[in-house]
Structure 1
């Protein structure tokens, strides 16, 4: 027998307006048979800490479907990629990149240059001064790129009048794009890698790599994106998770499950012990105590 649910969360990147926080961050439930969305009240807001809205359809009971010899497995969709030429097209104009301008205020130019090369940081004019964080996998194929706008002085994300964040495949208006994300920075992992540190944001991974270069720093891109399918390529390496403040319990629960599957993984609770705002990360901690 195969156990299935009538409804599951929409696996695409499409978002709707959340009933609670009113932001366009709700992932709806979808009927597995009809492929239609459940009513708008049912879904999960991906602002887990700031909002936390999560409502299941009331009739989402488990269904037990009989298997037969005529059962045919549905083939997996082919992963979509973005052409490697985006590196030539967008890997320039760093004097117009707010994130790079911020880094140059705090780090030597040589360190910033190395980070640009290692993480293939790009510049976008989608918003003036925007940055592209490419998700390049361990075969050096580009899964997608995240376009984000930062304040050049503070290094903080621009969230008003709306969160300035988008995906490259959406900017390019690709149709039927099968996005399967990978860890940001995955292309840096090689046979000489010793310990891998995983954080939430791309910005944090880049900055930490300039301070503690003896480790390889990767990012999930979102707090809810700590998933085993993203960690599989680094399963054979020692992994240390550094969740944002208030996320230790959530990430540690997942880490314990991964450990049962032979991952050498641990979770740092450093930020939980410090007098920092909820949602603070390692960069906030370092800049706070260094007075920058």
Structure 2
């Protein structure tokens, strides 16, 4: 049977046709990009599938890419109508409630929670756990779960990551300790549909919204700058129109990592029809050359200060 679809995963023709995954950032080249069969050109570098199924399994399809970017594209090259492509089930895959609730304990062994306690004390850490539903996982000793709970309270999935309790940095050796709850649970036919980390907090409409890349940064920044609702997209390439639709008519301030300023600045302009999007140059203005070389994010910058003093600084 011939393939009638214009966009397809690039066939394997050696390692030059495999790439580093922009979602899990693993050192192995396991990411397969989509190509346009009519031109031979790739779609955007983050449109594709990670072959590390058990550890990542990210799959950003051409259909989602075009929808996120407001394109009307003929996906099926044999029937020229923008709606004539295979429609997948609209059923939203969710994590079983018992799995979610079972993770909300074991904090004495949770490395990230230990790091928070060291910097902010027990009272604030307990509040952060409640605010963001920080979970614990036995998948790797000391690992944490960062649940994606949408504005309706539905648990889309959870990202499992292991942190160093002393430094607060992700453990990346001998491999990058990151995976998904649905992958660990081996849920059949699970279709990951991500939402913003912290999206459930948007029920509070009294505060402006702040967006960062990582879940860890959102949690830490909420202590230093509590006048915002802090959310995270979970990756440099994941700031998309689709995931930001929930921010309709909200005031949004974006805090990019140092290596993402230009990309996110462009996104802020593109999303002006959704809400009042602005970009912060806080890191751009204050980072040293050494910090730029290290790819500092907002959490790296904030954690240098005492949060009590930082809150009263002009």
TM-score by length of 1: 0.79
Q: Which has the higher helix share?
A: 2
Say if 2:21 is the partner of 1:6: no
Say if 2:152 is the partner of 1:136: no
Please report how far the alpha carbon of residue 66 of structure 1 lies from its aligned counterpart in structure 2 after TM superposition: 5.1
Say if 2:292 is the partner of 1:277: yes
User: Aligned match of 1:175 in 185, 188, 192?
Assistant: 188
State how many pairs are aligned.
261
Give the match's secondary structure for 2:275: coil
Change (3 A) 1:31 1:103: same
CA deviation map 1:28-47 (0-9, x unaligned) = 134789xxxx9xx999479x
Matching residue of 1:51:
none
1:46-125 map, 5 Å: 67=80, 74=87, 76-125=89-138
1:203-282 map, 5 Å: 203-259=216-272, 261-273=273-285, 274-275=287-288, 276-278=291-293, 279-282=295-298
Matching residue of 2:14:
none
**Structure 2 residues without counterparts, runs of 5 or longer:** 11-16, 48-74, 308-314
TM-score by length of 2: 0.74
Matching residue of 2:27:
23
Matching residue of 1:162:
175
Give the conservation status (yes or no) of the 8 Å contact 1:135–1:181: yes
Please report how far the alpha carbon of residue 64 of structure 1 lies from its aligned counterpart in structure 2 after TM superposition: 6.2
Give the conservation status (yes or no) of the 8 Å contact 2:20–2:31: no
CA-based RMSD of the aligned residues comes to 3.3
Give the conservation status (yes or no) of the 8 Å contact 2:147–2:155: yes
